[in-house]
Every structure is written in structure tokens, then in C-alpha cells.
Structure 1
């Protein structure tokens, strides 16, 4: 810890390790187990899709977990406890993979319980972690903290996916259980070490908790704040747009541009590379070079994402041979830019105006993001199916991309208003 009572850079990296652990476990359930159900077990793809959707839906409970960490005045137990529940849920989900071949309905029942636990674990641990970052990070370091923690999460996802993929061959149910158990236990152990006494040095910046309030009253208090309410709408709009292309970009590349499965899969890697660069750029620009503001980077990221989607639509009119990959990299770059700047702005709004309700606020915005993730992906896929019945593939997918671009423009307008209001009120409080 730093002498000022805020997190040092080492402390921020320690919390980034927790975010990395969250990504490491979640990717097992959204990628590895999803593939095993569809390919090895030949189950309908909608089944793992609904289970993953369930874990997003359960995260509507995020405000409650944030409230509980506010009420207790301690974030660390909720971070560790949530990680343990998440690991247990992932192990249960892995246990159900071979069980599907013996008793489908029992496996389905236990899978529902397991994915419910996954949602609870992510909600409890992730919300409390963000609340701790919001209250314990110095204002000038919030953009860098958001960048560091999210880049570490991406690194955790990438490393886990690659290493588990290598260790899982040749596949067997027992090998799967051992791997998932090791990842889960490692995540809980690393989280416990990373958060050991981390709150002890930040007590001077922790505000009194409104612990006597009931959850419903605390949530009503947060929703009554105009800036918090409008920021929630911004999070929902922007993240709906963010996730609308998730399920349709690769089919678009295959149907319109003639990409092979390997080539279309490479688009995801290119997009994630762009996201990484966008996040890194904002962290360096805001913290290191002092260029721009969080508000400016959020607006620029949303508008850049809208323009990139327009370019992707235009390339669909050109067909095979168009340099689609560069437009996808640009989309990833601007997505990463707006996402990490928005997280920094979220931490600023929660950390400087919450008066003991940081967790409740972060939970509300986390719930909006989780709902948007489910709604956006489903909406994009459903709209593409409907449009394809009435027009060409290029125009059908393009219509979805243009609708997504319109949502990004709306989000940019709202962000310019809400984040500007936050910065203004911050200056007033600080007496500047």
C-alpha cells in the first residue's frame, strides 16, 4: 500500500490477478465445456447457450452482492467467497459432462445448479472487486487500474484457453475434472494470496457504509441519483451494442466473404488483438501521457466503433476480396478503447460520490452489463435470422451492424452528458 492510503501499483496488479482468475474459470464454462457439449456429446447448441445465458441472468443479483459488501464494510471476504463459489460451480458443470451420457435429466438439473453457482460467484466476487478498486484507487490512477486489471483478465483467458486445450488432449472425463479442479483451486488460492491484508492500508479512503439501510432502500437511493441512473442506461446501451455482433460476425464472414472456418475463427483473434491495443492505448494516454479525459475516450471509442461497423457493412456490399480483417481489428480497437475508459469512469463515479454505496452502484452497473450481454447476443442473432428471410445475406447482416452502430452513437451522446456531469460534480466537491 502507498502511504496516502490508496492502492500502490503493486496493489492494483494484485487485484488484477483476481480479475485474471475470474477470466480463467469463466472461459472454461463458455468455451471448453460449450464445445464438449456440442461436439463430443452431440447436444443441441442451444443447451449450452441457455446455460451460459443463465449465468448472465443470475448476475442481475450483482447490486445485492455490492450492497452486502457495503454493509459489512469489507470487500475481501466477498471476493474470496465468490471465487470459491465460482470454482465449485465450474467443477460441478464439468462433472455433468460425462453424466449427460448416463442420465440426461439429472445432468441437466445439476448443470442448472452449477451455472447458477457460476453466476453467483462471478457476481459476488467481481462486484466486490470493482467496488474495492473504485474506493481504493487514487483518482489519477483509475484509468490505468482499469486497463491493468482488464488486460490481465484477457491474459488469463488466453493463457487458460491455450494451456487447457493442450492438456485436455487426449480427452477423457477424468482428465477434464482434474484440469478444472486444478484451475479452480489455483484461482481460489491465488485470490486469497493476492487479497491478503490488501484492505488494511486503504482504510483511510473507505467511506462509512449505510449498513442500516435495507437493500431495497439502498438501491432506491442509487437509482434516485440522476447521474447514476443515466450511467446505467449508458452501460446497457453500449454493452448491448458491444455484444450484438458476437454471434454473427463469423457467420457473416463465411456467408458473405467465403471465409473458411479457420479463417473466420481468426477474425476473433484479430478482434481481440484490437481490443488489447485499444485498452492499452487508453491506459498509456490518460495515465502516462495525460492526453484526453475518460469522457473523451469513451465518446471517441463509441463513435469509432460505430464508424467501424459502418465500414464492415460497406465491405459486405463489395463481397469476397474486401479487407474485412482490418475493419474488424479497428472495431476491436475502438471497442477496447471505450470499454476500458467506461470502466475507469464507472470507478470514478462510484468512488467519489457513493458515500458508502460503492458496491451497490458497481453492482447495478454490473447487472446492466450482464443483462446487455445476454440481450445483445440474442437480439443480434435473432435479427440476422429474420432479415435473412427477406433480403440478401450481406444486407441482412449489414442491417444488424447498422443498428448496432446507431446504439453506439446513442451511447456516445449519453456518455458525453453523464460523464461530463460526473466530472463537473467532482470538481465542485473537490473545491476546484
Structure 2
């Protein structure tokens, strides 16, 4: 028995819950550190890079869920750890105001827990989807679950942004605590009983983890796709930690306004994913390469325009352009995710969890590297007495160039095959 649409939608709720915690750390808490606490942007950049770096454990979480026969426990346990880390990160921001070193220590611990939680829960969830979904439904399942994740991110950012005005530390803790409890409850209800109804035969642990991972890496398609994921996701995440500080420092927006701006961006991402989901997986129109290239080039154009309005001080265009950036980001991302889901179930070893872990690790490293690099470059230019608008604009321009490079790589490695099923060159 395979996953039905209702079960797939239920698992999508877990993705939404996961995104709800992560968006608070990458948007709201990041902005509070840089603007309200006047800390260098590289500090939250390092903390977010830490949580992404710990996600290098994703292949091992996937391998364990492949061989352990119970992915549900990793999903629920990982979400509990993630929620604890999210609330701890909020406490760390509050503590930083009165005791820098104690707040920093708590923040490091909290972001480490976030990385462990995302790795355990997210990888096991994707492995359950890949192994339990019929091959002809995998691309659609990827679209549905990521749409729900982006919806959860956008909804959380928008609601928290509206509730966090006027800002106070006590209000921050109250809101983040409520979100943390809510995501745990949603996850428990969403996954309860699903795995028992799906025929998923765990593969015996015939090989040690390192040998199993090496076997996957030896597959040309898996290796090429891993490299593509790293490059494209570096471009995707480079503005993640600097967009809200940019809006606060250059345009003078409040914490609530910039959190709402993040919600608008993710709302645009939701619309971009929805478009690709309807046209590519529903109407079966267009090739994966077409959607990836269009998403990359559109993101490039939006970033260049955001850089321009920062220099010119045209605040009225900020929200529309941020939504546009999210829209093209969504087009690119859902096509890549569809490929990931389809390829995860292929290969002679059938180690879905290990493959998803490998690509998840590549994405995590790229996200940490991209986010940290963007924040560090802004700090360096501001230290060199370069104006805020020019400093942020330069990073946005670099990110735009990386999107062009990702589009060129997509032209080389992704096939012209129709978008359903998704395919990579060499299949």
C-alpha cells in the first residue's frame, strides 16, 4: 500500500511546522540581533551556519531511517528537538541584551539543537515520502508538501510580524513559545499511524554507513545532482540573512514590518511553486530545465532591481520586488525538489533516506555558506565605510550572478525531458 493524497497532505503539515520554526530564526531573530541589538550581521550568520553545518548529519539520519524500520520516531523526536531549539534561540536573543556571553552560549546551544532537529525530522520525513509514494505521484507529492511548507513559513512570518508590534522581549518569548508548542502538536497528529499503513520494507544494514554513502556518491546522476544542489542553493540562500536588516537599515522599517516583508517573500515563493505545480505536474507542460532556468533568471532580475531601489531609496517598490523574488525562487525550487524526489527512489540499492540525506546535506552546506558569506560581505563593506545601500546592493548583485551560473549549469546537466516525471541528463 502506498501513500494516498490525504496522507501526503498530512505529511505536508509536518513540513509546514518545520518551516514555522526555522523562519523565526532566519528572519525575526536575525533582524533583532543586527538592528535592535546593533550586533554585526556575521554573528547571526555564524549561528545559522552552525545549524546548517550540523545538518551534515543528514545522510546518517537518512541511513538510520532506512535501516531502522521506524521513520516516525525520528520525525516526532526531531521536531521536539527543533521546537526546543527555536524557543532557546529566542531566549538567547533576549539574554544577549543584558549578558552578551551568556546569551551567546545559549544561542550556540539552541542553534545546534535546531540543526539536529531539522536533520532528524526533515530527512526522515522526505525519506518516508520518497519510499511510500508511488513513482507517478512523487513529483506531485514534492509540490504539495513544499507548498505547505512555504505556506507555513509565510503564514508564520506574517502572523508573527503583526503580533510582534510593538516589540518587547516578553512578547517575543510568548509568541515563539506558542509557535513551538503548536508545531509539536501538529507533527504528532499529522504523522500518527501513517507509516504503519504504508508498505515500506527497511533495507538490511548490509554495509557500514561510510560504504553505503560512498556507493551512492559513485552513481553519476546522484553525484551530478549533488553538485547542482550546492551551487543553486548557495545562490538561493545568500540573501536570507540580509534582506530584513537591509529593509531595516536602508528603509527604516520596524521589526514587525520586516517580519511581514519576509512573509510576503515566502508568499511569492508559494505562488511560484503553485504555478509550477499546476502547469508542470498537473497539466504536464514544460520541462524541468525550462522552469529552473526561468526561476534563476527571474530571481537574478529581481535582485538587481532590489539593489537599485536601495541606492535610489524607493521604498514603495520594495514589497512588490520582494514578492517577485520569492515568486521566481519558488519556480526554481519546486522543479529542483521534484527531481530530488524522483531520483531518491532510483538506483540499485534503493536507499531513499541516504540519497535524501546526501542532497539535504548539500543544501544545508550551501545554505550555511551562502547565508554566512552574504552577511560577512555586508559587514566587511560597512567596516570599510561603504554605505548601507551600496553594501547590501553589492551582495544582491553577487547573488544575481550566482543565479546565472546555476541556470547555465542547469542547461548542461538537466535533460529536455517533460516535467512529469522529472529527469536529469544521463537517465
Task: Give the TM-score of the pair, scaled to structure 1.
Answer: 0.81
1:142 to 138, 145, 153: 138
Q: Does 1:156 align with 2:178?
A: no
Cα deviation 1:227-286 (Å, max 9, x = unaligned): 11111111111111112233455676788xx74436994764543332121111011112
Cα deviation 1:139-185 (Å, max 9, x = unaligned): 33333322322222233233334545566678776766565444333
Q: Indicate how the Cα distance of structure 1 residues 36 and 9 shifts in structure 2: closer, same or farther if over 3 A, else same.
A: same
Let me know the Cα RMSD of the aligned residues: 3.9
Instruction: Name the structure 1 match of 2:113.
Output: 117
Q: CA deviation at 1:23?
A: 1.6
Q: Indicate how the Cα distance of structure 1 residues 131 and 261 shifts in structure 2: closer, same or farther if over 3 A, else same.
A: same
Q: CA deviation at 1:68?
A: 0.8
Instruction: Name the structure 2 match of 1:294.
Output: 288
Q: CA deviation at 1:342?
A: 0.6
Q: Is the 8 A contact 2:49 2:371 kept in 1?
A: no
Q: Does 1:60 align with 2:56?
A: yes
Q: Does 1:414 align with 2:409?
A: yes
**Comparing 41-50 with 77-86, which one deviates more in the overlay?**
41-50
Q: CA deviation at 1:191?
A: 1.4
Count of equivalent residues: 420
Q: CA deviation at 1:100?
A: 5.0
Instruction: Name the structure 2 match of 1:184.
Output: 180
Q: Is the 8 A contact 1:140 1:287 kept in 2?
A: no
1:377 to 351, 366, 371: 371
Cα deviation 1:199-245 (Å, max 9, x = unaligned): 23331xx4652522111111111111111111111111111111223
Unaligned runs of 5+ in 1: none
Q: Does 1:339 align with 2:333?
A: yes
Alignment map for 1:3-402 (pairs within 5 Å): 5-34=1-30, 46-96=42-92, 104-164=100-160, 179-203=175-199, 206=200, 209-249=203-243, 259-261=251-253, 265=258, 268-310=262-304, 320=314, 326-353=320-347, 355-384=349-378, 400-402=395-397
2:400 to 398, 405, 408: 405
Q: CA deviation at 1:293?
A: 3.2
Q: Is the 8 A contact 1:71 1:212 kept in 2?
A: no
Q: Is the 8 A contact 1:248 1:380 kept in 2?
A: yes
| SS class of match (1:420) | coil
Larger Rg: 1
**Comparing 18-27 with 98-107, which one deviates more in the overlay?**
98-107
Q: Is the 8 A contact 1:69 1:359 kept in 2?
A: yes
Q: Indicate how the Cα distance of structure 1 residues 354 and 95 shifts in structure 2: closer, same or farther if over 3 A, else same.
A: farther
Q: Distance in 2 between matches of 1:332 and 1:169?
A: 24
Q: Is the 8 A contact 1:143 1:282 kept in 2?
A: no
Q: Distance in 2 between matches of 1:22 and 1:42?
A: 28
**Comparing 44-53 with 61-70, which one deviates more in the overlay?**
44-53
Q: CA deviation at 1:360?
A: 1.2
Q: Distance in 1 between matches of 2:231 and 2:188?
A: 35
